[in-house]
Amino acid sequence: MGITKQYLRYVPWKNFNIVCHPDCNVVFVTLNGISDRYVAVGACENVIIWDLRLEKLVMTIEDEDMKNNTSKKISVVKLATTSEGKHIAVGYSDGLVNTFNLATGEIIGTFQGHRSAITALTYDTHGHMLASGSKDTEAVIWDVIAEKGLHRLSGHKGVVTGVQFINKHNLVMTSSKDTYIKFWDLTTGHCFKTLAGHITEVWTLSILRDDDFVVAGSNDAELRTWKISKMNEEESEIKMSELLTSDNLLDFASSIKCEKSGSLMREGPGRVVSSATDNTNHVLCVHGHGKLLELFIFSGDGEALERLRNRQRKFRKKASKRNENNDEDTAFLNEKNPALQDVVRRLPPILTDYKIRSADLVVNQTHVKVVVSMADNTLAFYSLSLGDSKEVKLIRKISLHGHRSNVRVISFSSDNLAMFTGGSESIKMWSRKTLNCIRTVEISSAVQCLCVLPGDRHILAGLEDGKLLVIDIAAGDIIESISAHQKDLKSIYMLPDELGCVTGGGDSTVKLWQLELVTLPGTDRKVLSLLHLKTLELDENVQCARVSPDNKLLAVALLDNTVKIFFMDTFKHFIDLYGHTLPVNDMDISYDSSIIITASADKTIRIWGLDYGDCHRRLTTESTLTSIKFIPMTHQFFTTDKNGNIKHWDADVFERVLTLQGHRGECRNMSVSGNGYYVVSCGQDNVIRLYEKTEEPLVLEDEREEERAQEDDKELATGEETNVYGGPSVLALPTKKTISSEKAAELLLECLNVIKEYKDNLLESENKGVDKPTLPIIMTAFNVKTTDDYLLEIIKRIRSSELEEVLLLMPFSSVCYFMEALIPLLNHMHHGIEPVVRSLIFLVQTLHKPISSVNDMLPILRQLNVLATKKTNEFRDLVGENLHSLMFINNSQEEEELVFNITQKVQKKRKRQKQKLLKSVIVNI
């Protein structure tokens, strides 16, 4: 069957308008060796990096799979960087964690172990391990180098709000909404200590001053602080003896001692929202739901001891004057350990213009630099001194690159080179090529509709208070404000002759206006204005108004669910369109004035004929429709709905062509360029999405098949739980079962079946004395010549973080054959030895009982044990030799550079001495 109709595909191109997303934190990153200039923030599914000095967007980090996936709507909710700043970890709202290289923007690893949104994310000091916490009440420790999960920390009964490494003691701390703070051993993955110092949810957790202090924030103004120290052997022996002799359950003797140091009182009201520390972990910043950001600096032991002695000296002077001395005073004067007030010093607080969402800071020798992301889509950059100065300096503020509130309306210019957006506080003009904001016009009320006038030099804006604004784009000024309607102005539409416009408002009227030039009083300057010609009185409030391209008919959608059509010249009633059960939110008329399409809140699209007013077809959608637009010179159109979807339809065949990647939340408006090559949309997630028409053909049957495949991929074929044959009933792996792990398991099972079948055919041909059978087609496709290379290639293709889940999905008979097939792989030295040995160890640990119960597997296990030990030692020796060789080469290069630099300095010094001597000789002569 041939292709009956072919379309061209629209694809997501770029996003803009987001400076910083309120649901994601902000972090400093290192680019080009600079650590206090660039910050990374979340922007829906992408991560964007801002240059604070130039107020410029320098990089966008995006996952190609998320960009091309139209059914998955996730957003970035958590960011974390390594101490060196070379890598960034990104946590998403579906529990996925990705790591990226900041220099290239390429993805390094993918970790899937959570079932819900990421709430906490942090690296260890060296950047080798990553800890993630989620709303599913669990935390997972990941090995970033090996790209695998190490431990799943299960024990909290509430959302995990904080995860921190204590590198000095090889521990991890987690905090949760269940009011507890837990200590976990990284070696065993078990919890050995729980702090129950809070009576409400614990919202933040920070480690300060070389892993010595723990600071946790709760629902009150108190930041509770604990001091961590290593338990000495004498105290450990005493606690162990108490544990053995006591009938009650005491706190088990652990490797660390955690003592309550006191509390830091915040000045801001309400609960703690978030906290952050610098790379040295000496400065802490915390904030609540308000505009106040508070900073605390944790001093070293020497400075804290000096403060204690100063306090004791002052107290001794006061006590000598009072001639009073009690036991408490004597104990304080004999105190040798600094208290919390000696260790912690307050820095000047920062008061912002709007509510704070998150903050991050970097510290140099004399100053603290703080970046703050606010709820109004702005970034502020502050600097304050580490000394006694109370001055807080605002260095930069990034605000012009986005609206302060949600964008409600959007429109293209006539030349398709610019876009105009309107929010509740301003109207902005954007360049389509660079996506930079060119003009910003502040307004007094929220914009309801926009209309670009011919020539692209003026725009008309309808406001919520019924005013009609005439705006000069070049000057960025409001020329005139006209009280067009008594209530909100909901619709502006340009007449086809481009000499006037019609407006519809909530006061049940439609007005006809004519464009004219008026002379300003006292000057010769002429400006654009509007002259009111006629008014059409109606019985219901107007939702929207449209004029047919032939300038003969006026269509008005009313609040009573009907669309009334009038003659344009006389405003006489022509016909009514009945059928919708809820009001029509938007409508459009085709270029040939033959059909009109209406989008209603009743989740239906109706296609009507303008000759008799008959309904050609009724199309049903899943959500309330918000806007509808024809593609110029075609009968194809786009719709947006409250599910965030943007759909492409064909009014001739009455079918949906394509569903584009939509918004997170409601999609409010959309505009199609005059040439039909671009579509732009705005939504509740405060991002403006631009789509581009490509030359890629699209066939409806293929598109429907692909959508069905995506729907099937949403559900796991083997269920959510992992069943282990003959193994433990509950296996808490760090990873979770995913669609990709199921596909990888299918690929591995297919590989084993192909190998088994090929070996059987090979053995049969040898017995019969005939030629060897040809290689299977799939082995030829993988460009391998032997079955061992084929199996090794499949193992390498399995994602490292999903290897355990893939092995558990295999049936037991295939596991036995797989382990037998690993013997020839271990007989040869190759770079894929690590996943092979990992697979072997995991299978033996997990399925030891059923494997050891099979008699035929015992000699195979012995052989695998010998080979795995031998090859692992050989590979380890090879890696060690290469490492030390590289270290030797590096040291040699450093020595050569040092000698070269010294030689250059000596030569320069001698040259300066010669020039100085020559000058002195010339002067003496």
pLDDT in tens, 324-370: 666 566 666 667 777 888 888 899 999 999 999 999 999 988 889 99
Lowest mean pLDDT among 58-72, 180-194, 650-664, 870-884: 58-72
CA dihedral of 690, 31, 148, 875, whole degrees rounded to 10: 130
Are 422 and 415 within 8 A, CB to CB?
Answer: no
Compute how many other C-beta atoms are within 10 angstroms of the C-beta atom of residue 6.
9
The two three-digit tokens of residue 246, written as one number: 């006591």
Which has the higher per-residue pLDDT, 527 or 638? Answer: 638
pLDDT higher than 50, residue 18? yes
Instruction: Tell me what pLDDT residue 634 has.
Output: 92
DSSP type of residue 801: G
Instruction: Tell me what pLDDT residue 242 has.
Output: 55
- Mean pLDDT value across residues 799-809: 87
Compute how many other C-beta atoms are within 10 angstroms of the C-beta atom of residue 507.
17
**Whole-number percent of the chain with pLDDT over 90:** 42
- Mean pLDDT value across residues 383-393: 87
**Whole-number percent of the chain with pLDDT over 70:** 91
Would you place residue 661 in the very low, low, confident or very high pLDDT band (cuts 50, 70, 90)?
Answer: confident
Which has the higher per-residue pLDDT, 476 or 312? Answer: 476
Would you place residue 81 in the very low, low, confident or very high pLDDT band (cuts 50, 70, 90)?
Answer: very high
Lowest mean pLDDT among 426-440, 646-660, 830-844: 830-844
pLDDT higher than 70, residue 72? no
- Mean pLDDT value across residues 245-269: 71
Q: Alpha helix (H) ranges present in 769-856?
A: 777-781, 787-797, 803-808, 812-826, 833-846, 848-852
Instruction: Tell me what pLDDT residue 324 has.
Output: 63
pLDDT higher than 70, residue 254? no
Most confident of 131-135, 297-301, 663-667, 780-784: 131-135
Mean pLDDT of the chain: 87
Helix then strand count (H, E) for the chain reads: 14, 56
- Mean pLDDT value across residues 282-288: 92
Instruction: Tell me what pLDDT residue 2 has.
Output: 44
For the beta sheet containing 87-92, the strands, ordered from the edge strand earlier in sequence to the opposite edge, are 76-81, 87-92, 96-101, 107-112
Instruction: Tell me what pLDDT residue 451 has.
Output: 92
DSSP type of residue 323: T
State the greatest distance between any 2 C-alpha atoms of the chain, in Å, as a whole number: 114
Lowest mean pLDDT among 244-248, 349-353, 519-523, 827-831: 244-248
The residues, any chain, with a CB within 8 Å of residue 455's CB and separated by 6 or more, are: 414
Closest listed residue to residue 661, CA positions, set 695, 692, 618, 694: 692
E strands of 364-452, at which residues?
367-374, 378-385, 392-398, 409-412, 418-422, 426-431, 437-442, 447-452
pLDDT higher than 70, residue 756? yes
Most confident of 554-563, 729-738, 777-786: 554-563
Are 836 and 878 within 8 A, CB to CB?
Answer: no
Compute how many other C-beta atoms are within 10 angstroms of the C-beta atom of residue 782.
14
Are 342 and 311 within 8 A, CB to CB?
Answer: yes
DSSP output for 140-164: EEEETTTTEEEEEEE--SS-EEEEE
Give me the residue label for tokens 């030799």: 881
Instruction: Tell me what pLDDT residue 84 has.
Output: 82
Query: CA 79, CA 99: separation in Å to the nearest integer?
Result: 10
The two three-digit tokens of residue 43, written as one number: 């922007």
pLDDT higher than 50, residue 51? yes
Query: CA 480, CA 187: separation in Å to the nearest integer?
Result: 71
The residues, any chain, with a CB within 8 Å of residue 490's CB and separated by 6 or more, are: 448, 449, 462, 504, 505, 506, 542, 543, 544
Query: CA 143, CA 149: separation in Å to the nearest integer?
Result: 6
Whole-prediction pTM value?
0.85
- Mean pLDDT value across residues 723-746: 75
Q: Could you read off the pLDDT of 544-582 as tens digits, one per residue?
A: 999 999 999 999 999 999 999 999 988 999 999 998 999
Give me the residue label for tokens 């494997």: 851
Instruction: Tell me what pLDDT residue 602 has.
Output: 92
Would you place residue 240 in the very low, low, confident or very high pLDDT band (cuts 50, 70, 90)?
Answer: low
- Mean pLDDT value across residues 780-802: 87
Instruction: Tell me what pLDDT residue 625 has.
Output: 93
Which has the higher per-residue pLDDT, 314 or 148? Answer: 148
Would you place residue 173 in the very low, low, confident or very high pLDDT band (cuts 50, 70, 90)?
Answer: very high
Which has the higher per-residue pLDDT, 652 or 252? Answer: 652
Question: What angle separates helix 833-846 from helix 812-826, to the nearest 10 degrees?
Answer: 140
Instruction: Tell me what pLDDT residue 513 has.
Output: 92
Query: CA 546, CA 565: separation in Å to the nearest integer?
Result: 9
pLDDT higher than 50, residue 682? yes
- Mean pLDDT value across residues 252-258: 70
Instruction: Tell me what pLDDT residue 922 has.
Output: 62
Would you place residue 250 in the very low, low, confident or very high pLDDT band (cuts 50, 70, 90)?
Answer: very low
Q: For the chain, report the end-to-end CA distance as a whole number of angstroms.
A: 104
Are 160 and 133 within 8 A, CB to CB?
Answer: yes
Q: Could you read off the pLDDT of 188-231 as tens digits, one per residue?
A: 888 988 988 788 999 999 999 888 899 999 998 889 999 988 87
